[in-house]
Structure 1
Amino acid sequence: MPALWTPAEKLLLASTSATRLALLVSAGLPVETQAPGVDERAVEAEAARQNLDPVALAARLADEKALAVSRRHPARVVLGADQVLACEGEVFHKPAGRSDAQAQLGRLAGRRHDLHSAGSLAIGGQVVERFSRSAHLAMRPLTEEGIALYLDLAGPEVLRSVGVYQLEGFGVHLFEAVEGDHSTILGLPLLPLLAALRRLGCLAL
């Protein structure tokens, strides 16, 4: 059977995200995963001291994840990825719990926000490719009761999302407009990733 992936070993995803893994598998890529063990809050604090914008912050986080795993597996092609949500200059983080999620959705309701998704490919402890894309989303006005109902319907898994929504599920009810490709919204822009892998000679197609 012809093979799409040319390296001897599978792509190593520096993440335990089931969503990113599913995106890669859907594209026919052989993948293994490993937690990068990066202190994201420390990286974000350093980025704030350097006045990095949200796009640069997403790229920095993707770099750090890819490099952390690449140093442990220097012969492998390692993919790091991250996503930053920004709304009118404010960077949002994953909610600490339901009350935090309710408050966060209240701040996003009736406003536009941006999702900046970035990826880095590392080999031998060095970043060899970087890519990023952004999506722009307009959340419709929501009442406190509406937000509470949404959180009940969506379940606790949405608390693992920085925007407290999964657009492929109940989260679609929150929006008026969405601009951007689906994989970028899910946190891993597939088209620029595949282009980067082709440049590295990792894909036969």
Structure 2
Amino acid sequence: MSKSTVTRLVLLAYIMCLTLGGSEDSVVDIYTELKELKYLVGELSSRLNTAEAAVTVQRALVEDLKKEYKERPKVAFSASLLSSESKQHGPINAETKLVFGKVLTNIGNAYNSTTGLFTAPVRGVYYFRFSGNGYAGHDMGLSIFKGDQRMMSVYEYHSSGESNDNASNGVTLQLDQGEVVYMKLWINSWVFLDGRYDYCSFSGFLLFPM
């Protein structure tokens, strides 16, 4: 409210008071109230401007988060040992890399079904899960490797009283871009391959980039 507007209102109030038989004190009271009203309007205007600025900042933050989520790499895969018939794989007299050739999911194409290698597309934290199945009568041992380092394993001792042995495990790994993760079958152990139930599997996904 401008000063000229306040002045016009005061003069109008003064004339109304005189016309209606009011006193100059009434005019002074109205002028004081108008000044207080002007101050209140100014305060409200200032708060509104502050609120609008905060909303603008929040909108910008939301847009940044949307953009970050949209651009965040999406990585997830699941694969199993490929076989056209039910048979055992092993025992082998040397620790051997397992190639999970039956790909169920490969978002981001970070897993290679020809080499059995998962290659981290970005630096981040990943979660991996693996499982194995073997008939009784021979040991079954599996390990997950990060590069040349053994990270986690499962082992089932052969048992004559059971027809099947099953084991699974999982691990969270921090990987740099380009680092590889893969599975190995232990020396002199075996796993059971089938073309239907996919007992032996290898899966992983990106938890968050770093």
TM normalised by structure 2 equals: 0.27
The one of the two structures with greater contact order (alpha-carbon pairs below 8 A, sep at least 6) is 2
Which has the larger share of helix?
1
Report which of the two has the higher share of strand: 2
